[in-house]
Chains A and B, each alone.
Chain A
C-alpha cells in the first residue's frame, strides 16, 4: 500500500467519521441530559434527507434554502418527539423510556414508508458539491472538504454553546441533577427541548451530507448510521460531546481502513463497528473520554 493510497483512504475514513460524529453528538447530548438513548435519533437523518429532497424537487427551492428548511424542520420534529413521547414518561423507569425510543424509531420509519413509499429516491446533489480536486495522485472529493469543514464548525459551535452560554450551563447542570435545576427557577423542559433541537440540527446536517455521499433517500436509511453513531458515542464516552466526535472519526477510519487493507472483508463492514462496541464495553465501558456519570 503506497502513501497516496493510504492518504486517500484516510480522507474517505475521515469523511465517513465526521458523518458518524455529527449523529453521535446528538445521541451523547440527549444521554447527558436525560440518561436516555434516543434510538429515534438516527431516523432524524432520514427526516432531514426527505425534507431537503422534497424542498428541492417538489417545491423547487434553491438548495441552501432547502437545507436550512431541513435543519429547522428536523429540529422541530426533534422537539416534538421529546414533548410527545419522552416528556409524559419522564418520571417512569428508564427502561420505559428506552422502549419508547425504539417505538418512536419504528414509528418514524414506517410513517415515512406509508406516506412516501419504500422506493429509494435519488438525491439531487447540488453541482457545487460534486467533483473532486486532484493533488498529484490524490483525488479529494469536494464533498469531503465540505463535510470536514461543516463538522468542525458545528463541533466548535456546540462546544461553545455548552461551555460558554447560559443554556449550556443549564444543560450541564441538568445532566447532574434535574430536580435542583428546577428548584433554581429554570424550566427544565425548555432546556431539554433546546438539547433535542440542537442534536436534531446536527443530525439534519449529517443527513443532508449523507445523502450527497450516498444519494439514495429511503425510509430505513437512518437505521445503520444511527446504530453506528450510537457505537461512536459509546466509544467516545457517552455524555461527552468531543468524545462523540472522536468516536465517530475512529469508527469511520476503522471501517474504511480495515476494508482497504483487506478487501475480502468488505462484506463485514457493518460488523466492524459492533465488534468495536463489544471490545469497548468489555475493556473500558466509560469510553475514551468518558467518566462515570451519576445515575
Chain B
C-alpha cells in the first residue's frame, strides 16, 4: 500500500447560497494519478482552490501527509508540497522564463530579508543552486533554450510546459493539474500523457488531474472521480467510469 498524501473528508464549499462542492471525499496516494472530471461548473476547480488554501471550506477536513491543512494559509500549504497549474495559464508574464521557475524554487529554501538583500555567504550558494535547479527543470520540459525570453513571448504550448516547470520547482509531493491539455492537439496531448506517466514514475508524485479530454483521462488516470453540481456521482477505475450510466447522463443530459 502506498503512502497516503491527500485525504479529503466531507468537504463542503458554499458561495453565497450556492453549494459549489457538497460532501466531497477524495484520497490521493503517492505515485497515484487521480482524475477529477465532470461537466462545467461541477466544482472541480473549486476543489483545487480549497486544497491549496485559496478558498476556505464551509465544512470538511483536509489532511496532507496525515497533518490537518484545513484553512491553513496558502504559502504554508505550498511549502508542505502541494503545487498546481491553472486552467487559464497564469505565468508572471513580465518575468523571464527562468525567473518564473526561480520564484517557485525560492520557497524550498529558507528566506530572510537581510539575506535576500545582502547577496553573499549562504545566500550566494543558494542562489546558484536555485538557478541550476531552474535550468534542470527547463531542460526537463524542453524549454532550456528559452530561459532568457519573457514568459509572455512563448507560444501557448510552451507556456503550459513552463507552468508545470514552475510547479515542479516547489519540489511538490502532490501536483494538481487543472486542464493541462486544453488547447493541445492530439499529438501534443498523447506526448503530454507519456510525460505525466514518466513524472509519476521518476518522482513518485501523486497527481490530481482535472481534464475534459476523456481519452487522455482514461489513458493516464488510475482512478477517476466524477462530480456534478458539487456532488460525487461516480468513483472507479477508467473502464468502470466509461460505462457508468450516471456519468453518461451527466455529460449528455437525459434523453
Residues of A within 8 A of B (CB): 161, 164-167, 169-170, 172-173, 175-177, 179-188, 190, 194
Chain B: which residue is nearest A167 at the CB level?
Answer: B116
The answer to whether B75 touches A170 (Cβ under 8 A) is no
Instruction: List chain B residues, Cβ under 8 A from A175.
Output: 94
Q: Which of B52, B83, B103 has the most CB of A within 10 A?
A: B103
* Supplied contacts A167-B116, A169-B99, A190-B113, 11 more A-B pairs, CB within 8 Å: A165-B119, A166-B116, A173-B103, A176-B95, A177-B92, A183-B75, A183-B83, A184-B104, A185-B107, A186-B103, A187-B75
Question: Which one of B52, B83, B106, B170 has the highest number of Cβ atoms from chain A below 10 Å of its Cβ?
Answer: B106
Chain B 58-93 interface residues, beta-carbon cutoff 8 Å to A:
73-75, 78-79, 83-84, 86, 90, 92-93
Nearest chain B CB to A16 CB, angstrom units: 30
What is the bound-complex CA distance between A70 and B11, given in angstroms? 51
Select one of A164, A166, A169 contacting B95, CB under 8 A.
Answer: A169
Which residue of chain A has its CB nearest to the CB of B102?
A: A169
Q: Which of A170, A183, A186, A187 has the most CB of B within 10 A?
A: A183
Bound-state CA distance A187–B73 (Å) is 9
A167-B116, A182-B75 as given contacts; A172 in contact with B95, CB under 8 Å: yes
Query: Which residues of the partner chain A approach B86 to less than 8 Å between Cβ atoms?
Result: 180
User: Which residues does B use to contact A, with CB under 8 Å?
Assistant: 52, 54, 73-75, 78-79, 83-84, 86, 90, 92-95, 99-100, 102-104, 106-108, 111, 113, 116-117, 119, 127, 166, 169-170
B75 touches A186 (CB 8 A): yes
Q: Are B166 and A184 in contact (CB-based, < 8 A)?
A: yes
Total A-B contacts with CB atoms under 8 angstroms apart: 81
Pick from B94, B102, B106: contact of A176, CB below 8 A: B94
Closest to A172 in B: B95
Q: A167 with B117: in contact, given A183-B78, A188-B75 (CB under 8 Å)?
A: yes
Select from chain A the residue with minimum beta-carbon distance to B105.
A184
Closest B residue to A182 by CB, please name it: B74
Residues in B neighbouring A190, C-beta threshold 8 A: 113
Q: Specify which of A164, A170, A183 is in contact with B52 (CB 8 Å cutoff).
A: A183
| Complex contact A182–B92 (CB within 8 A) | no
Closest 10 CB pairs of A and B: A185-B107, A185-B78, A182-B74, A184-B104, A185-B79, A167-B116, A173-B92, A176-B92, A166-B116, A173-B103
Residue of A nearest to B74 (CB): A182
**Contact among A161, A166, A172, A180 with B106 in the assembled complex (CB-CB below 8 Å):** A166
In the complex, 10 of the A-B residue pairs with CB atoms within 8 angstroms, ordered by the A residue number, are A169-B102, A173-B92, A175-B94, A177-B90, A180-B86, A182-B73, A182-B74, A182-B78, A184-B78, A186-B106
Closest chain-A Cβ to B27's Cβ sits at a distance in Å of 22
Bound together, the chains give a CA A190 to CA B75 distance in angstroms of 11
**For B83, what are the chain A residues with a Cβ–Cβ distance below 8 Å?**
183
Residue of B nearest to A239 (CB): B94
Establish whether residues A164 and B78, one from each chain, have CB atoms under 8 Å apart when the complex forms: no
A174 to B, closest residue via Cβ: B92
Q: Are B104 and A185 in contact (CB under 8 A)?
A: yes
Q: Taking each of B73, B79, B104, which has the highest tally of chain A beta carbons within 10 Å of its own beta carbon? A: B104
Do the beta carbons of A186 and B107 come within 8 Å of each other?
yes
Known contacts A166-B127, A194-B113; decide if A183 and B74 are in contact (CB<8 Å): yes
Residues of chain A with a CB closer than 8 A to B100's CB: 173
A184 touches B170 (CB 8 A): yes
B103 close to A169 (CB less than 8 A): yes
Give the docked Cα–Cα distance between A114 and B93 (Å).
47
Q: How far is the CA of A188 from the CA of B95 in the complex (A)?
A: 17
Q: Within 8 Å CB of A184, what residues of B?
A: 75, 78, 103-104, 106-107, 166, 169-170
- CB-CB under 8 A from B74, the residues of chain A are 179, 182-183
B117 adjacent to A161 (CB under 8 Å): yes
Chain A residues with Cβ under 8 A from B119's Cβ? 164-165
CB-contact partner of B94 in A172, A180, A185, under 8 A: A172
Q: Is the CB of A167 within 8 A of B92?
A: no
Q: Roughly how many angstroms separate A169 CA and B101 CA in the complex, as a whole number?
A: 11
